Amino acid sequence: MIVSMALLALVLGVVEGVTEFLPISSTGHLILVSHFLGFEGPRAEVFEIFIQLGAVLAVVVEYRSRLVALATSIRREAASRRFAAAVAIAFLPAAVSGLLLHHWISEHLFGPRAVAAAAIAGAALILAIDRPGRRPEVESVEAIGSRRALLIGLAQCLSLWPGFSRSAATILGGLVCGLPRRAATEFSFFLAIPTLGAATVYELVKKRDLLAPGDGAPLLLATAVSFFVAWICIRWLLRFVSTHDLRPFAWYRVALGVVVLAVVR
C-alpha cells in the first residue's frame, strides 16, 4: 500500500460523501482514486460499496421527518402508499439488472478507462436533456406515479456502468418524465435508500471474507466521514438545483474523462 489504511479510509470517505449525490459518479471517483492510490481488486470493491452506507444514513437523517410521516401514514393514506410503491417500482429494474450483470460488470467495467467513457457519455446526456426552457409536468416528488417511477427505475440501470452516476441517471430520468429539477433530485435521494442499502448488504454478505482482520476500523471511519460529507452535499445540491441546471457538472465530467483517458494507459 502506498498510503496507510487510516489515511486511505479518510480519503475514500470524503470522495464518497462528495460524489454520491452529485451527478458525477461516486463509484467512478472511488475507482479512480483507489487506482492512483494503489488500492485495487476485490477487497477495494468491498470498501467502495460498503462506505455507501454512510451516504444512505445521510439521506435518512435529512429526510427523517418525512420518512417517519410516511411510515406512520402508509396504512391510512393512499398518497403515502402510492409514493412508497413508486420508490419500490423504481428500485426493481436496477436491482434485477445488477444481480444478473454484477459479475460481468466487475470483470469488465471496474477500470479507469471505462469510468472515463461513462463520465463523458453521462455528460452528453446531461447537456442533451437538461436544457433551458424545459417545462415540468408535475410539481412535487409525491406526484410521480407508477409509470414515471418505472421510467426513472429503467434510467437508473445506466448507473450500473461505473462512472455514469446513479444520481445523474435518476435525476435525468426524472427530468425526462416531466419532473422539476428539485423534485427529480429529491426522488433520487429517496431511491438511494433501498438501492444503496441493498447493494451494501449484498456486497458485505457475499464478499466479507475478502476483508482483512484489521479492516473494521478503517471501514467505520470511511463510513462516518462519508455520512457527514454526504449530508452537507445533500443540502447544498437541493439549493443548487433550485436555481441552476446541471450543465456545470457535465463540463466537469467531460474534463475528468479527457484527463483520465490522457493519463491512464
More confident residue, 210 or 117: 117
Structure confidence at residue 108 (pLDDT): 82
Each residue's pLDDT tens digit, 222-252: 999 999 999 999 999 999 999 999 999 999 9
- Which of 66-75, 78-87, 215-224 has the least mean pLDDT? 215-224
Q: Decide if pLDDT at 1 tops 70.
A: no
Q: How many CB atoms lie within 10 A of CB 171?
A: 32
Which region among 1-15, 23-37, 138-152, 160-174 has the lowest average model confidence (pLDDT)?
1-15
CA distances from 34 to 39, 41, 137 (A): 5, 9, 41
Q: Rounded CA gap, 132 and 65, in Å? A: 33
pLDDT at 3: 61
Half-sphere exposure of 9 (CA within 13 A, CB side): 19
pLDDT at 106: 82
* pLDDT, position 30: 93
The confidence band for 2, taking pLDDT boundaries of 50, 70 and 90, is very low
pLDDT at 76 over 70: yes
Taking 90 as the threshold, does the pLDDT of residue 67 lie above it?
yes
For residue range 15-51, list pLDDT tens digits in order. Answer: 999 999 999 999 899 989 998 888 888 788 888 888 9
Q: How far is CA 207 from CA 38, 49, 91, in A?
A: 20, 11, 23
CB 224 within 8 A of CB 14: no
What is the pLDDT, as a whole number, of residue 49? 82
What would the grid cell of residue 191 be?
A: 431511491
Percent of the chain with pLDDT over 90: 70
Does residue 162 sit in helix, strand or coil? coil
Tens digit of pLDDT for each residue in 108-135? 888 899 999 999 999 999 999 998 777 8
